[in-house]
Structure 1
Amino acid sequence: MDKTKFNLAEAVVDIPDGATVMIGGFGGAGAPIELIHSLLERFRATGHPKHLTLVNNNAGNGHVGLGALIECGTVKRLICSFPRSVDSRAFSQKYRAKEIELELVPQGTFAERIRAGGAGIPAFYTPTALGTDLARNKPVAEFDGRMYLQERWLKADFALIKAEVGDEHGNLTYRMAGRNFNPLMAMAAQCTVAQVRRIVPAGRIDPETVVTPGIFVTRVVEVSDPQQEEQLNRAGAIF
C-alpha cells in the first residue's frame, strides 16, 4: 500500500518505447516539470524511451519541460488542444520538418475523451467539430433532430501528474488551478505517477479534501520545491 518508495528516476524508469503518456498541466500550471525532466535525463543517458505519444493540453514552451522533451526527439505523436502558444518553438520546428505527428482536439472534447477513458466509456457524441476537418472519417448520428460527432475515449500507459499533498496510499489534493487535467489523467492511465509538494502519513489528509483517490495512483514522489515553467523560461533556462 505504500506508494512513496520512489525517487524521480525510479518513478519513470519503466516507461517503454512507443508508450502513450499523459502529462498534466494547463500551460505551466500543474505541469510536473521534475518528472518530465527525469524522463528526459533517462533518454539522454540511454536513448530510451523514444517514439512516445504524448497527451497534453499544449505543446510546451521554450527549452524546458514538455518543450524540452519534444525538442530532444523522444516524441513521435502529440495529442493536444493548443499546439501553438507563447514560445512553442520546439513543436513548431519538429512539425514543419515532419518529425512529429499532431492530433488536434478541441479542449472540451479533449477533457471529455480523457474522462471517458477513466470511466470506461468507449465513445460519446458531441456537436463540437462537426462539419470541420477534425470530423473527417468519424461516425455521426442524429439525436433529437441534431447531428452529433462520435469521439473515442483517450487512455494511456502512463500519466505523469502534479499534485499538492499526497499520502502513503496515493490520495491526492491539488492547489488551485494546478488541478486542471491532472485528476482526469490519473484515472485514464494504467500507471499514474504523481509528484507532490509534500507526502504525509496515511490518514493525515481529510477525506473530504481528497480529489484523486489512491486507487488511481501507482507511485508518489515528493518534490518539495517544484519548478515553474514560466519562471524557468523567463530566466532563459535550457534543460
Structure 2
Amino acid sequence: MDKTITDPATAIADIPAGATLAVGGFGLCGIPETLIEALESAGVGDLDVVSNNCGVDDWGLGRLLAAGRIRRVTASYVGENKEFARQYLAGELEVELTPQGSLAERLRAGGCGIPAFYTPAGLGTPVADGSMPLRYSADGTVGVHAPAKEMRTFEGRDYILEHAITTDYALVHAAIGDRHGNLVFHASAGNFNALCAMAGKITIAEVERLVEPGEIPADQVHVPGVFVQRVVPVASVDKRIEKLTVRQPISA
C-alpha cells in the first residue's frame, strides 16, 4: 500500500518513448515541475501530451518542447509559448485544440470509464467541422486537418461528440499526499491535476508534504489513492509567476 518513491528519476524511469501523458496544472500554477525535469533529464521523446497548456518557453512542458521531446499536444490554450507556435506552424508539432471545458470533461470521462459524450461546445466552429489544422506542412500549407466530429440532435438542439481521454501515464502536483496516494491540492493549483490523475493508467504524483495514511480527513481528499500509483515527495518547489503585474509606486 505504500506508494512512496523518493527519487523522481526512479518514479518516471519506465515511461517509454512514444508514451501518452496527461500533465496537470494551469499555466504555471500547480505543474509537476520536478517530474517534468526528471523526464527531461531521462531523454524520453516522441511524447503525446495532454495538458491545458504547454508551459512557457523555459519552464514547465516548454522545456520538453524546446528539447524536441514532444510529438503531439492536446490542449486548450497555447498562447504563452513562442517555440510552441514556431514548431506548430513549421509542421514539427501536431496540435489538437479543444475547448477548455471539453478538455476537462474528456479527462474526467476517461477516468470514470465513460467512452464519449455530447456537448454544444465548439459547434459551428473549426473544432467541429474538420477545418482545424492538426498539422502543418513545412511549406506552411495545412498537412492534416483534425477530423470532423459526429453531430446529433437532442430535443431540437445540435451537439457534437467528444471522445474521452485516457493516457499511459499522468504527472500531477499536490500540496499534500499520503503514502496510499490520497491527494489534496491547494486552491487553483488543483486545476486539471485531479482530472489528469483520474485519466492516467499510471499516475505519478509529486507532493509538497508527505503525511501518513489517516492524517488527511476523508472529506478533504480531492483525489483518492485508487487513482494514484506512485507518490514522490519533493523537498522544494520553484513556483514561478507566469505574468507578473505590479502597481507603480505612488509618489509622495
TM-score by length of 2: 0.87
Q: Deviations over 1:55-111 (max 9, x none)?
A: 1111211212211111101100000000112xx022112112211110000001010
Q: Which residue of the other structure, out of 168, 172, 185, is the alignment partner of 2:179?
A: 168
Counterpart-to-counterpart distance in 2, 1:219 and 1:176: 22
More helix as a share of residues? 1
Counterpart-to-counterpart distance in 1, 2:212 and 2:162: 41
Q: Is the 8 A contact 2:207 2:234 kept in 1?
A: yes
**2:54: which partner in 1?**
59
Q: Which residue of the other structure, out of 224, 227, 233, is the alignment partner of 1:222?
A: 233
> CA offset at residue 6 of structure 1?
3.6
**1:141: which partner in 2?**
152
Q: Is the 8 A contact 1:68 1:90 kept in 2?
A: no
Q: Which runs of structure 2 are paired with 1:62-81 in the superposition (5 Å)?
A: 62-81=57-76
Q: Is the 8 A contact 1:22 1:156 kept in 2?
A: yes
> CA offset at residue 224 of structure 1?
2.7
1:185 aligns with 2:178: no
Counterpart-to-counterpart distance in 2, 1:139 and 1:219: 37
Counterpart-to-counterpart distance in 1, 2:15 and 2:26: 23
Counterpart-to-counterpart distance in 2, 1:14 and 1:138: 34
SS in 1 for 2:241: helix
**2:11: which partner in 1?**
11
Q: Is the 8 A contact 2:33 2:60 kept in 1?
A: yes
Q: Is the 8 A contact 1:63 1:90 kept in 2?
A: no
Counterpart-to-counterpart distance in 1, 2:89 and 2:157: 38
Q: Is the 8 A contact 1:71 1:94 kept in 2?
A: no
**1:129: which partner in 2?**
122
Counterpart-to-counterpart distance in 1, 2:187 and 2:217: 17
> CA offset at residue 225 of structure 1?
1.6
Q: Is the 8 A contact 1:114 1:184 kept in 2?
A: yes
Amino acid of the structure 2 residue aligned with 1:131 = G
**1:158: which partner in 2?**
169
Number of aligned positions between the proteins:
226
Q: Is the 8 A contact 1:34 1:227 kept in 2?
A: no
Q: Is the 8 A contact 1:35 1:195 kept in 2?
A: yes
Amino acid of the structure 1 residue aligned with 2:112 = A
Q: Identify unmatched segments of 5+ residues in structure 1.
A: 44-48, 235-239
**1:23: which partner in 2?**
23
Counterpart-to-counterpart distance in 2, 1:5 and 1:134: 40
Counterpart-to-counterpart distance in 1, 2:230 and 2:123: 39
Q: Deviations over 1:24-68 (max 9, x none)?
A: 01001110111101100111xxxxx21110111112112122111
Q: Is the 8 A contact 1:117 1:153 kept in 2?
A: yes
Q: Identify unmatched segments of 5+ residues in structure 2.
A: 131-147, 245-252
Q: Is the 8 A contact 1:123 1:151 kept in 2?
A: yes
SS in 2 for 1:103: strand
> CA offset at residue 203 of structure 1?
1.3
Counterpart-to-counterpart distance in 2, 1:191 and 1:124: 24
Counterpart-to-counterpart distance in 2, 1:225 and 1:6: 13
Q: Is the 8 A contact 2:57 2:66 kept in 1?
A: no
TM-score by length of 1: 0.91
